[in-house]
Amino acid sequence: MKIQAVFFDLFETLITEFENGVRKAPRSNHFVGQLGVDAKLFEQEWKKRQERRMNGTFPDFPSVLRDILSTLGYEAAEEIIDNIHNDRVASKAIPFNRIEPAILEMLGQLRSAGVKVCLISNCTREEVASWESSELAPHFDEAIFSYAVHSAKPEPLIYQLACERIGVSPSDSVFVGDGGSSELDGASDYGLQAYHATWFLPEDRAGKITEYPKLTHPAELIELIAR
């Protein structure tokens, strides 16, 4: 069987938010002091909204902040919210600034081999604001962002949409990801061949998932396609 398409996760698969085990950009709650709210309470409310942030229920980052502030009984000036939003967009752009050459080489070889390439990312609007201007975008036939399609991994719908958008059958395709959000289970359940990309992961995280074959370097995917 010839593999017709590869679906990729984004964060910790094609780009990484870490360097030498340290975050390249601040965590999501680093700005809490500017809002005047308790950091632990904010973190609790932030986590409660995870699913709704990913599926586009919240249209943007400022709306999430306003909702959390309202729930906690706080207010913040729109200027502060705008500044925090701009800072977050800038911090989320950092992982896009330098794409690993091995990643670009892998994507280029897939396209040269006639394999379709599609992104399936659980993300919010501000997290991928730098996608279109990145070195990654030209290599992709389609990019499926969860916030835009109102469905997030591991829901079957997001995999279905991706297959439909590029016109392939799940059985002729593979999904490659670091395993977050149960994405490998979702891909496998939908009929895609799932592979665990561990090249950006520390050993402890890489070892937590044992059900799927591992790819420890981007070149291994090219070898797999060639077979």
- Statement to judge: residues 183 and 201 lie in one domain: yes
Q: Peptide bond before 154: cis, by omega within 30 degrees of 0?
A: yes
Same domain as 222, residue 110: yes
Compute and round to an integer the Cα radius of gyration of the chain: 18
* pLDDT value of residue 195: 98
| Cα–Cα distance measured from residue 227 to residue 214, given in angstroms and rounded to the nearest whole number | 16
Specify whether 12 is located in the same domain as 124.
yes
Mark whether 181 and 154 lie in a shared domain.
yes
DSSP strand pairing (22-23 vs 116-121): unpaired
- pLDDT tens for the 227 residues of the chain, in order: 689 999 999 999 999 999 988 888 777 667 888 999 999 999 999 999 999 999 999 999 999 999 999 999 999 999 999 999 999 999 999 999 999 999 999 999 999 999 999 999 999 999 999 999 999 999 999 999 999 999 999 999 999 999 999 999 999 999 999 999 999 999 999 999 999 999 999 999 999 999 999 999 999 999 999 88
Same domain, 184 and 221: yes
| Domain, as residue range, for 143 | 5-18+99-226
Residue 33 and residue 124 in one domain: no
Considering the domain architecture, whether residues 87 and 153 belong to the same structural domain is answered as: no
167: left (phi over 0), alpha (psi -120 to 50) or beta: left
Q: How many domains does the chain have?
A: 2
Residue 173's pLDDT is 98
**Amino acid, single-letter form, for residue 179:** G
pLDDT at 33: 86
pLDDT of residue 28: 61
Can you tell me the distance from the alpha carbon of 72 to that of 39, in angstroms, rounded to the nearest whole number? 12
Query: How far is Cα 168 from Cα 32, in angstroms, rounded to an integer?
Result: 44
pLDDT at residue 20 in the model: 85
